[in-house]
Amino acid sequence: MANVIRIKRRVSGAAGAPVALKSAELAHNEVDDTLYVGKGDDGSGNATSVIALAGKGAFVDRSSAQTVGGKKTFSSAPASSEDAATETDLVRKLQLDTGLATKAAATHGHPIAEITSLQAVLDAKAPLASPALTGVPTAPTAAGGTSSTQIATTAFVAAAVSALINAAPGALDTLAELAAALGDDPDFAATVTNGLAGKLAIAANLSDLADPAAARGHLGLGSMAVQEANNVAITGGIIDGIVMDGGTF
């Protein structure tokens, strides 16, 4: 019959180490799947401490998946023979270096010629200073009355011209037409003023004539035009077919 060697064990109850063990005595707690050993000797065969020796409950399982709780600190960088495959996997340095090898550095000094097609793209853009635009460039239309360095669009210019013309008739809605209407006289206002200065005033009722006698002559008026109505002297002439002649004696 084969010999059977047994060690202390706990099938149920609390997890954790036994309160006491003999020196080098083993105990297995099936609650937390941990194997404990009595360490040290107090001189009477009793262990001076009980420590976890093995078991899935206190040690990492090397052969199957296992969730390890709590923060773990490694004295050296852990190694892996496989690359990360999922979002939660740790990435090996080799895998990270391989991925970064195809990326540009955060700071670098590549000449523009090394960047494919960039120079051609930049050449197709208009410069900020004195751009020579082609096609039909557009810009925001400024509000009416704007006076600044903002670009004046065709819509802004059309509105300004319309406000300047202000519904003037077609024959007088250009500067050339207005100039022609003024006789192309750059001193039109002075010409009109001087012309009006030589005219008789309506309110003067001909009292402002410079030479009344000459005016009467121009109008064909004789001396009768200045005689009193009750003292008219007529010499010669015909009134309604009557000959006025004093005769001789």
pLDDT for 34-89, tens place per residue?
999 999 999 999 999 999 888 876 677 777 787 877 888 889 988 888 899 998 88
Task: Convert the chain into a string of H (helix), E (strand) and C (coil).
Answer: CCCCCCCEEECCCCCCCCCCCECCCEEEECCCCEEEEEECCCCCCECCEEEEEECCCCCCCCCCCCCCCCCCCCCCCCCCCCCCCCCCCCCCHHHHHHHHCCCCCCCCCCCHHHCCCHHHHHHCCCCCCCCCCCCCCCCCCCCCCCCCCCCCCHHHHHHHHHHHHCCCCHHHCCHHHHHHHCCCCCCHHHHHHHHHHCCCCHHHCCCCCCCHHHHHHHHCCCHHHHCECCECCCCCCEECCEECCCCCC
pLDDT score, position 182: 84
What is the pTM assigned to this prediction? Answer: 0.38
| Domain ranges for the chain | 8-54, 202-231
Q: What does the angle CA 204 – CA 209 – CA 211 come to, to the nearest 5 degrees?
A: 160
Per-residue burial over 186-201, b if 16 or more Cβ lie within 10 Å, else e, is: eeeeeeeeeeeeeeee
Q: Which residues of the chain have pLDDT under 70?
A: 1, 57-58, 224, 234-239, 241-249
pLDDT score, position 152: 93
pLDDT score, position 108: 74
pLDDT score, position 68: 79
pLDDT score, position 210: 79
